[in-house]
C-alpha cells in the first residue's frame, strides 16, 4: 500500500502551531501509528488483519470517521468486503482473528477482567500473533481516542487560549440533560450504537472497578517495567520497539519545573490515578497525593478519557478550557493519559497470559504424572 498521511497525522499538522510537545515526540508518535497500524512491514501479520483491527478498534471508541477510513483502506488493499458488510457475524473471518476480537471491548473498558481463560481457545503456536495483536489493537484504541480529542478542537468555534478565572463548571442536572439530549449528541450516540452492534463481539458496559469485590493487581507482584514489557519484547519485538521508543520520547519531553499548571509535572499523580481506576495499585505510593495534585474536575475528565472514550464527543472546548485553562495542556493530557492506559492494558494482557502459561504447564505436569503412574 502506498504510504500516505494518516487522518491523525493530518490533524497534528493542522494543530501544529498549538502543539507544545517536542517535535521529536510528535515524530516518534507518528512513526508508532504509521508502522504499527498502517504498514505491511511484517510477513507474520497481514496488513489486512491490521486494517480490520482498525475497523473494530475504532468502533469500540465510537470513531465513525476512522471506521470509514480503515474500511476504505481495507477494501483498497484487497480485503474481503463481506468482513465489513456482514460485520462480526461474518463466517469468513478467520477463527484466530474473531477470537482476539472478543477482547476488543474488554481492553477499552475493563482490562482488569482479562484472565487466563481468554487464551484457552487459541491453538499452540499463536503466542506471537496474540502479543502482536495486543499492541496493534491497543494502539488503535489510543489512536482513535486522540483523534476524537482533536475533533473537539476542530469542531469548536472557540478561539480563546484561556478561560476566564471566574468561570465555573456547570454541574446541574438540567445542563447535563440538555447536553445529552441535544440533536448532535443524539446523532453521535446512534452512530456509536450502530458501530458497536455491527462490529463488537461480546460488547460490555463499563462499570467502575470495585475494590470491595475485585482484587487489585499490585505493582510489586506484576507491573509494566519489571514484567509485562519483556513478554512483548519476546513475542512482538518490532511493534514493541516502536512502542518503547514512543514511551521513552514522551517521558523525556522537557517542561518548566516552575510551571505549576503544566500537565507533565502532574505525570506521576496521573499515572497512579489511572492505575487505580483500572485496578492496579502501588502500595509504595501515597494516594493522598492524587488529590493534592489533581482537582476533582481534572480527575473526572481523566476518568472519562480512560473509561468512556466513546463519549468524548459530549465535551466542548469551552468546557475543557474551564478545567485545564490552556489548549497546550489539553493536548499534553490526551497523549499522556492514553499512553498510561495502553501500558496498563498491556500489563493486564501479559499477566493473564502468564497465568494461562502457568496453568497450562501445571496441567501438562499433571497429565505427565498420570501417564507415569499408568506405566
C-alpha grid cell for residue 113? 477482567
What pLDDT is attached to residue 363?
Answer: 53
117-136 burial string, b = 16+ CB within 10 Å, else e? ebbeebeeeebebbbbbbbb
Nearest one of 20, 303, 335 to 315, comparing CA atoms: 303
For residue 2, is it within any domain? no
Reported confidence tier of residue 169, pLDDT bands at 50, 70, 90: very low
Q: What is the pTM of this model?
A: 0.86
Say how many domains are in the chain: 1
Query: pLDDT by residue (tens digit) across 199-232?
Result: 887 788 788 999 999 999 999 999 999 999 999 9
For residue 3, is it within any domain? no
CA count, 13 A, side-chain hemisphere, 355: 16
pLDDT for 194 beyond 70: yes
Q: What is the mean pLDDT of the chain?
A: 83
Q: How many CB atoms lie within 10 A of CB 140?
A: 28
Q: How many CB atoms lie within 10 A of CB 351?
A: 23
Strand, coil or helix: what is 217?
strand
CB 20 within 8 A of CB 332: yes
For residue 104, is it within any domain? yes
Q: How many CB atoms lie within 10 A of CB 286?
A: 9
Query: pLDDT by residue (tens digit) across 333-361?
Result: 999 999 999 999 999 999 999 999 988 66
Q: Across residues 62-78, what is the average pLDDT?
A: 92
- Render 118-155 in DSSP notation, one character per residue: GGTTSPTT-HHHHHHHHHHHHHHHHHHHHHHHHHHHHH
In the chain the beta strands, taken as DSSP E runs, fall at 217-218, 280-281
pLDDT for 310 beyond 70: yes
Q: Across residues 316-341, what is the average pLDDT?
A: 89
For residue 344, is it within any domain? yes
Query: pLDDT by residue (tens digit) across 3-31?
Result: 667 777 777 766 666 666 777 888 888 88
What pLDDT is attached to residue 3?
Answer: 60
Q: How many CB atoms lie within 10 A of CB 191?
A: 15
303 vs 298: CA distance, rounded Å: 9
For residue 143, is it within any domain? yes
For residue 6, is it within any domain? no
Domain residue limits at 84: 18-359
Nearest one of 313, 311, 333 to 324, comparing CA atoms: 333
For residue 75, is it within any domain? yes
244 vs 222: CA distance, rounded Å: 18
Nearest one of 41, 240, 19 to 138, comparing CA atoms: 240
Q: How distant, in Å, are the alpha carbons of 149, 166, 197, 301 from that of 345? A: 20, 38, 23, 19
294 vs 321: CA distance, rounded Å: 15
Reported confidence tier of residue 41, pLDDT bands at 50, 70, 90: low
For residue 11, is it within any domain? no
Q: Across residues 75-84, what is the average pLDDT?
A: 93
Residue 126 vs residue 162, higher pLDDT: 126
129 vs 92: CA distance, rounded Å: 19
Sign of the CA dihedral running 15, 17, 18, 22: positive
Amino acid at each position: 500500500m502506498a504510504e500516505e498521511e494518516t487522518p491523525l497525522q493530518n490533524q497534528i499538522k493542522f494543530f501544529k502551531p498549538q502543539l507544545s510537545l517536542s517535535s521529536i515526540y510528535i515524530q516518534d508518535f507518528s512513526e508508532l501509528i504509521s508502522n504499527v497500524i498502517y504498514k505491511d512491514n511484517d510477513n507474520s501479520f497481514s496488513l489486512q488483519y491490521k486494517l480490520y483491527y482498525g475497523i473494530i478498534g475504532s468502533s469500540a471508541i465510537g470513531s465513525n470517521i476512522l471506521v470509514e477510513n480503515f474500511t476504505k483502506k481495507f477494501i483498497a488493499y484487497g480485503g474481503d468486503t463481506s468482513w465489513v458488510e456482514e460485520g462480526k457475524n461474518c463466517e469468513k473471518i478467520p477463527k484466530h482473528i474473531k477470537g482476539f476480537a472478543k477482547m476488543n471491548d474488554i481492553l477499552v473498558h475493563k482490562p482488569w477482567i482479562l484472565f487466563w481463560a481468554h487464551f484457552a481457545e487459541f491453538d499452540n503456536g499463536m503466542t506471537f500473533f496474540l502479543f502482536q495483536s495486543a499492541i496493534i489493537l491497543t494502539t488503535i484504541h489510543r489512536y482513535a481516542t486522540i483523534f476524537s480529542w482533536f475533533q473537539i478542537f476542530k469542531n469548536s468555534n472557540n478561539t480563546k487560549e484561556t478561560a476566564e478565572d471566574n468561570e465555573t463548571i456547570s454541574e446541574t442536572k438540567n445542563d447535563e440533560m440538555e447536553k445529552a439530549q441535544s440533536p448532535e449528541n443524539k446523532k453521535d450516540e446512534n452512530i456509536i450504537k450502530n458501530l458497536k452492534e455491527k462490529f463488537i463481539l461480546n460488547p460490555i458496559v463499563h462499570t467502575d472497578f470495585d475494590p470491595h469485590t475485585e482484587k487489585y493487581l499490585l505493582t510489586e507482584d506484576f507491573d509494566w517495567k519489571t514484567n509485562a514489557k519483556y513478554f512483548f519484547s519476546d513475542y512482538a519485538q518490532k511493534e514493541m520497539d516502536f512502542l518503547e521508543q514512543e514511551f521513552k520520547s514522551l517521558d523525556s519531553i522537557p517542561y518548566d519545573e516552575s510551571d505549576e499548571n503544566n500537565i507533565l509535572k502532574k505525570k506521576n499523580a496521573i499515572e497512579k490515578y489511572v492505575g487505580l481506576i483500572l485496578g492496579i495499585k502501588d502500595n509504595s505510593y501515597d494516594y493522598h497525593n492524587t488529590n493534592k495534585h489533581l482537582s476533582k474536575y481534572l480527575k473526572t475528565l481523566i476518568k472519562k478519557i480512560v473509561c468512556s472514550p466513546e463519549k468524548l464527543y459530549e465535551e466542548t472546548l469551552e468546557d475543557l478550557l474551564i478545567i485545564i485553562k490552556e489548549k497546550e495542556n489539553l493536548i499534553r493530557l490526551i497523549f499522556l493519559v492514553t499512553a498510561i492506559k495502553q501500558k496498563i492494558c498491556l500489563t493486564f494482557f501479559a499477566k493473564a497470559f502468564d497465568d494461562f502459561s502457568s496453568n497450562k504447564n501445571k496441567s501438562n505436569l499433571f497429565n505427565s504424572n498420570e501417564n507415569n503412574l499408568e506405566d
